[in-house]
Amino acid sequence: MNWLDQVQWDERGLIPVIAQEASSGDVLMFAWMDREALRQTVELGRAVYFSRSRGRLWFKGEESGHVQRVHEVRMDCDSDVLLLRVTQLGHEPGIACHTGRHSCFFHVLRDGAWIEGEPVLKDPATIYK
């Protein structure tokens, strides 16, 4: 059986993907992949996602330059979630989020309110032109 056939794609042909920084264990972001995105990710060693809003493949960093080099792809016990172990590269290494932060998971619940728990490392207006 082909390794791609072992993935449990949802009704839209997608699978959720978590990108984790290999060196620190930090969860950087959540995205989706279709079959072609996963195939290209493995082939290129670079994160390629499926953008639901754009309706097409999205090469992480295609606009921002914040590329993810993939070291390992893991699948959960139900074969319906993927984990990428990555190194975040680019002009400003360590920025994974379009907000200019290290991680997309920067909101922290404290005392019943969401606060921004990570600083902006670079103004997104200077990243996306």
Band (115; pLDDT cuts 50, 70, 90): very high
Lowest mean pLDDT among 69-73, 75-79, 102-106, 122-126: 122-126
Band (28; pLDDT cuts 50, 70, 90): very high
Structure tokens at 71: 């070291």
CB 88 within 8 A of CB 118: no
Structure tokens at 16: 């959720």
Domains in the chain and their CATH numbers? 3-122 (3.10.20.810)
Between 106 and 91, where is the model more confident? Answer: 106
Question: What's the pTM value of the predicted model, to 2 decimals?
Answer: 0.92
CB 71 within 8 A of CB 83: no
